[in-house]
Structure 1
């Protein structure tokens, strides 16, 4: 049985993503309270030619296997749209986080002029729910981009619904998010909105404690087929939680992307 996290309500989920685009290569690093990955993608200026992932900190022993379905990105044309890439990769067949990092890498490969080096750093913070509200925010290269308030579990408002800023009130941040966000934002603000939505999704894990990990194999979570690679049939039966992978960066955001053991 999953137990509630006794510290939930006092902390903040944090995630940091760094993207570095150079000629023919893009590197993406991501670390948060539950994960740590490094991804490198190569291209010839027209198509993806190679992708590698270093899974430094993963929730399940099976997560590293998800590098295999990610190879479907090979051959993808950089001038094709994101929807084409997502349909090629099939999100539910992949590790959610490797998948998102690959999509981000392809976008920056397509946008990068091929000369010099460009970098982008995203910092996300999702506070634990307090008085029925979750505050989520993201900065790009130290400059605030989005600052949202999201309904947690209040009785009179659907959960996972934006309540602030006023111009976005009533918009969903789970199912239906991408439909409106793709219309409301473009460029970097759209990229940041998608990143913040993902952070909000993962931040919900702070509500629970899966200790001791031996008592909480993946199959006990009851997640639907297609939720991610490790929850799919054939993997979920072998998915066992990794020891010591959950970190709390509430007061130490400077440690993110250092990938400490």
Structure 2
């Protein structure tokens, strides 16, 4: 969907790498000019949804142990992915990813680079997992789910359920929430890319790698993981602004997404056709898990 670090707000850098982005990005509804690659054809404006402002972006991530394996699922407005992870209590032995609902026709092939996680040591640190491979070669959301599966295996827990909600922004403001295993865990008041309240997150920018470094250094493993999961939901919720059924291919969206994921990589973006009808509106709530959503 969006690149792993797209914020579309005050930061002019990829939120994952903190490297400057060449394409234009969205700043509170305005496009910032950026340098285009020489000889590139102009990119068409992306159509916006007329009903934005009245809905809610939702994401559910479920992880559980089954027959000695870790299984996981991720469902939101734009995606429906699953993972299956085998481990020996110390290392990842085997990992498989599958796509049940995708935004671009290229997304299923992202299960191949996911195999680079095989052999890595189990760890609770999502940043350590990202250092084991190049996240830009991965599907952002499949890799997120796989990383959480690795962390879940390291935790020794039996089940984990994250449920997230980010209402459409009023101006630049919204309130993002995360429940963990059925109980409220995080509630952030957000203005643009900054958490306004509550402590200890108040005043922290979600742009750049500084937030990710801070949560893993300052917070316990469970809270650090939850904060990273909620941050991603805040980022991806911007996608509700766009009418993706009127976006023919990934090149049309490239100026917003950059090149920081599997589909938007330079060697693949030209062949990434949009899967029309793949967006869901879960404003009223996600349905019960089971089968593809």
Kindly indicate whether the alpha-carbon contact (under 8 Å) linking 1:31 and 1:256 is maintained by their aligned counterparts in 2.
no
Offset of residue 226 of structure 1: 4.0
When you count helix as a share of all residues, which structure comes out higher? 1
The residue correspondences of 1:102-121 to structure 2 (distance < 5 A) are 102-112=146-156, 118-121=158-161
Q: 1:52 to 1:179 in 2, by over 3 A?
A: same
Corresponding residue SS for 2:164: strand
Equivalenced residue count is: 247
Q: 1:256 to 1:243 in 2, by over 3 A?
A: farther
Kindly indicate whether the alpha-carbon contact (under 8 Å) linking 1:121 and 1:141 is maintained by their aligned counterparts in 2.
yes
Kindly indicate whether the alpha-carbon contact (under 8 Å) linking 2:47 and 2:247 is maintained by their aligned counterparts in 1.
no
Choose which of 221, 224, 247 in structure 1 pairs with 2:280: 247
Kindly indicate whether the alpha-carbon contact (under 8 Å) linking 1:60 and 1:242 is maintained by their aligned counterparts in 2.
yes
Offset of residue 211 of structure 1: 2.7
- 2: distance between equivalents of 1:13 and 1:6? 16
Q: Hey, what does 1:27 align to over in structure 2?
A: 71
Deviations 1:4-55 (A, max 9, x none): 2111110100000111024641111110000001111111232211111120
RMSD: 2.0
Q: Hey, what does 2:289 align to over in structure 1?
A: 257
Corresponding residue SS for 2:132: helix
- Gap regions ≥5 residues in structure 1: 152-158
Q: Hey, what does 1:210 align to over in structure 2?
A: 244
Q: 1:100 to 1:148 in 2, by over 3 A?
A: same
Q: Hey, what does 1:150 align to over in structure 2?
A: 190
Q: Hey, what does 2:180 align to over in structure 1?
A: 140
Offset of residue 168 of structure 1: 2.7
- 2: distance between equivalents of 1:66 and 1:132? 33
Q: Hey, what does 2:9 align to over in structure 1?
A: none
**1:6 is the counterpart of 2:40:** no
Corresponding residue SS for 1:4: coil
- Gap regions ≥5 residues in structure 2: 1-44
Deviations 1:200-256 (A, max 9, x none): 111000011123243xx1112224664100000221111011021100000032x15
- 1: distance between equivalents of 2:275 and 2:194? 32
Q: Hey, what does 2:203 align to over in structure 1?
A: 170
Kindly indicate whether the alpha-carbon contact (under 8 Å) linking 2:116 and 2:133 is maintained by their aligned counterparts in 1.
yes
**TM-score normalized by the length of structure 2:** 0.79
Corresponding residue SS for 1:222: helix
Choose which of 227, 237, 251 in structure 1 pairs with 2:270: 237
Deviations 1:137-186 (A, max 9, x none): 000111111100111xxxxxxx3011111543220112232022223421
Corresponding residue SS for 1:3: coil
Offset of residue 106 of structure 1: 0.9
Q: 1:245 to 1:59 in 2, by over 3 A?
A: same
Q: Hey, what does 2:137 align to over in structure 1?
A: 93
Offset of residue 78 of structure 1: 2.0
- 2: distance between equivalents of 1:53 and 1:202? 20
Choose which of 124, 127, 130 in structure 1 pairs with 2:167: 127
